[in-house]
């Protein structure tokens, strides 16, 4: 019996989603768990591959299809995949999982729709149980963690979160072997993604991570992480933890084990400013272990702003600059992220621009405050939302009313990205890296990232219609298509 796993086409072609295309780690984890139970698995990544490959995979007689929907912008593409499958193989159970699907299952559960069930929470256990249930001819309605039309009002049983990562099989990266050269975070390619922890104990109102994990944060043992790293082929590794460096002793041991094992890789991660300050002495050690870049969720430049998003940064806004300097002193590049607010007038943008220039922040990133479904902010601002078209929920477009005229608002957002170019100095290291990428056949990545930055610096680009993913009609995907399972799309 085989489970076919599908990463849907990217639901947004604008903004930060073009700068990062990480491996579908959640599906790899599900695939690893299913294979550990004795079943087979296959993975199609439609961000890279073609609908033809998905059609051929359906010819190989999978027993069920699992579709990932982690982001709100992926809801429509995930439904298009489900419809594509249902039209060709109406006998196959179609199950959707991921962050958005778990938090807003009503977007998929419909008596007449193409989705049979939604996995609520982590997928490893429930999808293994689904395969057991199909083998034993049990209904999806009776499987804990799978919400269906029939059990949603009465009879749904949640699936317990695993207490330890040590109980879970490692992600099966062989499932994405044919795609791995196309995964990147920024200019880092090919890149791998590794989890050292899951969840977050903080409760920022704009974030759904802590809601998904019920405000739990679990970490893996340093020994198991280093064991996984030894099996990762890629030099560039992104730690996908929602908050890295939550536990000092664990991260200290992990760095020491990386050095002792002779694992030579280039790491990046994301964390909070107050944790950088709290554990400042660990970063020189991590620099030696290969940590190169840390994404800092600064979000707001003053205490009132932090309070508005419930950031709870210890030390308040003053800790932001301190954290930046700690990383710089350790030789690690800090990349700061900020949230702009549709309620701002020109003065709000002026203050943020002044802040970025004053502290010469390298490569700052800017998003637009977005009440994503499933977050507390969504509940608080539900009456204010001006569009429910998920294509605009890419954190780069305003879905709340703007104080400035909309074209002026986007002019100011684009101006921030123009400013980021000015504050990022071209260094010999950057020039050398660009040359290596060009010589190494990675011009596609450079073009992709530069095009994304160019669009974000262009006010008119924000006003263009969003991406609309459409699955081909039955038979259209197969006609005139290249070879089976060809990784034919790289844009």
Q: Give the residue from 127, 147, 167 where a domain finishes.
A: 147
Residues 228 and 111 in one domain: no
pLDDT in tens, the chain (491 residues): 999 999 999 998 888 888 999 999 999 999 999 999 999 999 999 999 999 999 999 999 999 999 999 999 999 999 999 999 999 999 999 999 999 999 999 999 987 889 999 999 999 999 999 999 999 999 999 999 999 999 998 889 999 877 667 778 899 999 999 999 999 999 999 999 999 988 888 888 888 887 887 777 788 899 999 999 999 999 999 999 988 998 999 999 999 999 999 999 999 999 999 999 999 999 999 999 999 999 998 999 888 888 888 888 887 888 888 999 999 999 999 999 999 999 999 999 999 999 999 888 878 999 999 999 999 999 999 999 999 999 999 999 999 999 999 999 999 999 999 998 776 666 666 677 778 888 788 899 999 999 999 999 999 999 999 989 999 987 676 664 443 444 445 55
Domain at 229, CATH number: 3.20.20.70
Tokens of 300: 């707001």
Domain-embedded: residue 106: yes
Task: Say what the pLDDT of residue 472 is.
Answer: 92
477, part of any domain: no
Residues 208 and 111 in one domain: no
The CATH number of the domain where 82 resides is what?
Answer: 3.40.50.280
101/205 same-domain check: no
Q: State residue 13's pLDDT score.
A: 81
Domain count, the chain: 2
How long is the chain?
Answer: 491
Residues 248 and 359 in one domain: yes
Torsion, Cα 46 72 123 221, to 10 degrees, reads 100
Place of tokens 């991921």: 98
Same domain for 87 and 8? yes
Q: Give yes or no: residues 114 and 201 share one domain.
A: no
Q: Are residues 277 and 379 in the same domain?
A: yes
Alpha-helix runs per DSSP H in 16-123: 25-36, 51-59, 75-88, 99-103
Assigned domain for 324 exists: yes
User: Do 139 and 185 sit in the same domain of this protein?
Assistant: no
235 closest CA partner among 440, 426, 487: 440
Does residue 312 sit in the same domain as residue 378? yes
Locate 256 and state its tokens: 């020491």
Indicate if 218 and 84 belong to the same structural domain: no
Residue 369 lies in a domain: yes
Question: Structure pTM?
Answer: 0.92
Residue 490, pLDDT score: 53
Which helix (H) or strand (E) segment is 346 a member of? helix 346-358
Segments of 220-326 assigned E as strands = 236-239, 266-271, 291-299
Instruction: Say if 406 falls within a structural domain.
Output: yes
- How much is the pLDDT for 367? 95
- Tell me: do 211 and 345 sit in the same domain: yes
Same domain, 139 and 199: no
Residue 474 within a domain: no
pLDDT of residue 319: 85
Compute CA 281 distance to the chain's CA centroid, rounded to the nearest angstrom.
29
Does 171 map to a domain? no
What's the pLDDT at 475? 67
Domain's final residue, options 131, 147, 163:
147
Query: Which uninterrupted H or E stretch holds 249?
Result: helix 248-261
| pLDDT for the residue 353 | 95
**What number of other Cβ atoms are within 10 A of residue 225's Cβ?**
23
Residue 209 pLDDT: 85
Domain that holds residue 126: 2-147
Q: Please indicate, yes or no, if residue 478 is contained in any of the structural domains.
A: no
Query: In sequence order, what are the residues at sequence separation of 6 or more whose Cβ sits closer than 8 angstroms to the Cβ of residue 168?
Result: 29, 32, 33, 124, 162
Q: Which residue do the tokens 């593409």 mark?
A: 77
Count Cβ atoms within 10 A of the Cβ of residue 220 and give its class: 0-12 exposed, 13-18 middle, 19 or more buried.
buried
């Amino acid at each position: 019996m085989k489970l076919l796993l599908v990463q849907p086409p990217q639901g947004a072609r604008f903004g930060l989603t073009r700068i990062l295309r990480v491996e579908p780690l959640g599906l790899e984890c599900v695939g690893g768990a299913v294979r550990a139970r004795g079943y087979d698995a296959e993975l199609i990544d439609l961000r890279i591959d073609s609908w033809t490959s998905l059609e051929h995979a359906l010819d190989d007689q999978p027993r069920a299809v699992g579709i990932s929907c982690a982001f709100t912008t992926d809801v429509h593409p995930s439904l298009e995949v489900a419809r594509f499958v249902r039209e060709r193989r109406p006998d196959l159970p179609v199950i959707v999982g991921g962050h958005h699907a778990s938090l807003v299952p009503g977007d998929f559960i419909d008596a007449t729709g193409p989705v049979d069930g939604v996995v609520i929470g982590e997928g490893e256990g429930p999808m293994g149980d689904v395969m057991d249930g199909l083998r034993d001819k049990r209904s999806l309605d009776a499987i804990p963690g799978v919400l269906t039309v029939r059990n949603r009002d009465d009879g749904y049983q949640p699936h317990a979160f695993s207490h330890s990562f040590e109980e879970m099989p490692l992600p099966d990266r062989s499932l994405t072997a044919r795609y791995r050269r196309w995964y990147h975070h920024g200019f880092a390619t090919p890149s791998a993604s590794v989890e050292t922890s899951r969840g977050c104990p903080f409760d920022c109102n704009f974030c759904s991570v802590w809601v998904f994990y019920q405000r739990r944060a679990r970490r893996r043992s340093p020994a198991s992480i280093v064991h996984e790293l030894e099996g990762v082929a890629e030099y560039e590794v992104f730690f996908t933890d929602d908050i890295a460096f939550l536990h000092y002793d664990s991260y200290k041991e992990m760095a020491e084990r990386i050095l002792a094992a002779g694992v030579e890789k280039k790491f990046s991660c994301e964390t909070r400013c107050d944790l950088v300050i709290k554990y400042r002495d660990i970063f020189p050690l991590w620099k030696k272990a290969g940590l190169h870049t840390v994404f800092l969720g600064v979000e707001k430049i003053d205490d009132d702003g932090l309070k508005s998003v419930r950031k709870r940064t210890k030390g308040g806004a003053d800790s932001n600059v301190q954290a930046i300097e700690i990383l710089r002193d350790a030789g690690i590049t800090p990349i700061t992220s900020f949230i702009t607010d549709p309620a701002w007038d020109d003065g709000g943008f002026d203050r943020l621009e002044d802040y970025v220039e004053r502290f010469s922040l390298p490569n700052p990133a800017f998003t637009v405050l977005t009440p994503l479904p499933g977050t507390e902010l969504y509940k608080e601002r539900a009456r204010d939302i001006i569009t429910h078209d998920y294509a605009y929920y890419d954190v780069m477009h305003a879905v709340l009313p703007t104080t400035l005229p909309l074209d002026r608002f986007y002019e100011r957002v684009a101006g921030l990205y123009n400013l980021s170019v000015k504050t990022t100095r071209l260094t010999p290291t950057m020039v050398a890296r660009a040359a290596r990428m060009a010589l190494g056949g990675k011009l596609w990545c450079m073009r992709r990232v530069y095009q994304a930055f160019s669009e974000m610096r262009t006010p008119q680009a924000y006003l263009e219609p969003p991406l609309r993913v459409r699955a081909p009609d039955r038979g259209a995907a197969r006609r005139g298509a290249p070879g089976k399972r060809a990784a034919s799309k790289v844009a």
